[in-house]
Amino acid sequence: MLAEMAANYPIVEETFAEASAALGYDLWALTQQGPAEELNKTWQTQPALLTASVALWRVWQQQGGKMPALMAGHSLGEYSALVCAGVINFADAVRLVEMRGKFMQEAVPEGTGGMSAIIGLDDASIAKACEESAEGRLYRRLTLTRRDRWLSPGIKRR
């Protein structure tokens, strides 16, 4: 994650060092050396993604990029937007998304949940497929992420 960028822009590793100080572990080493099983735990993935986003923003600024009039993000990206817009402190945001990840991990224990992306089907076909596969159980309504892309989270069958 961002190793090539870090070789050309020291601000990348500096941003990861700042996040590491806030978290109490070496986030850069985790993203570069793993183990992947640890990085893939949402409570560690989320700070890594936020830090990568902020590092890229800082590279953009360092290279003379203009400040946009507005910033927005979806889900975890909201935190990146808030940090980059100067609304919240980066160290606080890193700790906050780590906590967010821990809450998410606790809500859906490892190995019990899953998510599928559905691309290119019309709404009626998606709804019909969900109803047929539910087999009388409750299912969560899908989340529209783009005009033609849906996410379907759920509990894995045992």
pLDDT beyond 90 at 8:
yes
Q: Are residues 117 and 90 in the same domain?
A: no
pLDDT beyond 70 at 143:
no
Domain that residue 142 falls in: 113-155
Q: What is the pLDDT of residues 13-70, one digit of tens each?
A: 999 999 999 999 999 999 999 999 898 888 999 999 999 999 999 999 999 988 889 8
Q: Are residues 42 and 119 in the same domain?
A: no
Q: Are residues 83 and 13 in the same domain?
A: yes
Contacts of 116 by beta carbon, 8 Å cutoff, 6+ apart? 151, 152
Give a three-class secondary structure readout of 123-154. Answer: HHHHHHHHHHHHCCCCCCCCEEEECCEEEEEE
Cα angle for residues 95, 101, 14 (degrees, 5° grid): 40
Q: Are residues 60 and 127 in the same domain?
A: no
Q: Are residues 122 and 103 in the same domain?
A: no
Look at residues 76, 92, 107 and tell me which one is the last residue of a structural domain: 107
Q: Are residues 86 and 33 in the same domain?
A: yes
Cα 18 from chain centre = 19
Average pLDDT of the chain is 84
Region of 64 (left: φ > 0; alpha: ψ -120 to 50; beta: rest) is left
Q: Are residues 143 and 96 in the same domain?
A: no
Q: Are residues 80 and 127 in the same domain?
A: no
Q: Are residues 35 and 80 in the same domain?
A: yes
Report the alpha-carbon distance of residue 54 to residue 61 in Å, rounded. Answer: 10
The pTM assigned to this predicted structure is 0.75
Q: Are residues 65 and 142 in the same domain?
A: no
CATH number for the domain harbouring residue 58: 3.40.366.10
How many domains in the chain? Answer: 2
Q: What is the pLDDT of residues 55-114, one digit of tens each?
A: 999 999 999 988 889 889 989 999 999 999 999 999 999 999 999 999 988 887 776 666
Q: Are residues 60 and 121 in the same domain?
A: no
Q: Are residues 98 and 140 in the same domain?
A: no
pLDDT beyond 60 at 149:
no
Q: What is the pLDDT of residues 76-93, one digit of tens each?
A: 999 999 999 999 999 999
